Amino acid sequence: MSDRRPIGMFDSGVGGLTVARAVIDLLPHEDLIYFGDVERCPYGPRPADEVRRFAIEIMDVLVAQDVKLLVVACNSAASTALDAAKERYDLPIISVIEPGVHAAVAATRNRRIGLIGTRATVDSGAYDRAVAETRANVTLASRACPRFVEFVERGDTTSDEVIALARGYLAPLREQEVDTLILGCTHYPLLSGVIQYVMGESVVLVSSAEATATDVFAALRNRDLVSDQRLLGTHRFISSSVEGSFSELGIRFLGPEFGEVEHHPWPHEART
């Protein structure tokens, strides 16, 4: 048994490309469709019901392309829309939250885990619930870092300004002596240099990208959905905006697999 349909994946912008990179590395023969909702990015400051509506609209687009599995490569969307998505689609759906939590629980030595994410993700309590479900004897200290996404979306991952911002956001987590920090937003692995620099080298940064890719691999194998094609997979990239930064950052953050960007405009009333 094999299944040559593509994997569908989305984020509000370029952040989910960190997950795409990890999935392509583990599953090079799979076709992939990636949707970046650049026109409506950022999701983080938006109310939960709006983020949920956006996520469902994108998943409807991907499901119409006959994908075999959905990857919610956006913590803000996973925090708010996962239950609705599981009810709506008869497909395996992988989110970035549980894989990151499991990796952090395995990595912590002093049992103090930190979480950074968007306002939507932190306020949803989704990580607190996922940690509680592991029944591990750990504490979770959360901190929203709302302005990180705008820096990543404009490609600034090294400036004095972003380091100063990180110092402010991360100070409480340093005081609480977390030894493991979950990057609970798929944009944040692109700021790993800054975050590790500010937190100090003894803190383990957990990017859910690799852990999510491992879950995608297992989900395809367990359901006999792995493609049997021998050639490298094809990768399609769709953006809701015509603006060029997605292409520029795509090449920088994903690498040579990043190709031409297709435009999927939302109807006027769905834009905000």
Please tell me the count of residues contacting ligand DGL according to CB under 6 A.
16
Residue 101 sits in the site that holds ligand DGL (CB under 6 A)? no
Asked if 9 touches ligand DGL (CB under 6 A), the answer is no
**Residue 19 within binding range of ligand DGL, rule CB under 6 A:** no
State how far the alpha carbon of 57 is from the alpha carbons of 17, 83, 156, 168, 198, in Å.
19, 15, 29, 35, 37
3-state helix, strand, coil in the chain (%, to 5): 50, 15, 35
Give the whole-angstrom CA distance, residue 234 versus residue 30: 7
| Residue 201 three-state SS | coil
Rounded CA gap, 149 and 14, in Å? Answer: 10
Determine, following the binding rule CB under 6 A, whether residue 44 of this chain makes contact with ligand DGL.
Answer: yes
Residue 142 sits in the site that holds ligand DGL (CB under 6 A): no
Site for ligand DGL in 218-237 (CB under 6 A): none
> Is residue 149 a contact residue for ligand DGL (CB under 6 A)?
yes
Q: Supply the residues annotated as catalytic.
A: 74, 185
Q: Which span (21-29, 68-76, 87-95, 191-199) binds ligand DGL, by CB under 6 A?
A: 68-76
100 contributes a contact to ligand DGL by CB under 6 A? no
Q: How many residues does the chain have?
A: 272
Residue 149 in tokens: 């996404």
Q: Which of 23, 85, 103, 185 binds ligand DGL (CB under 6 A)?
A: 185
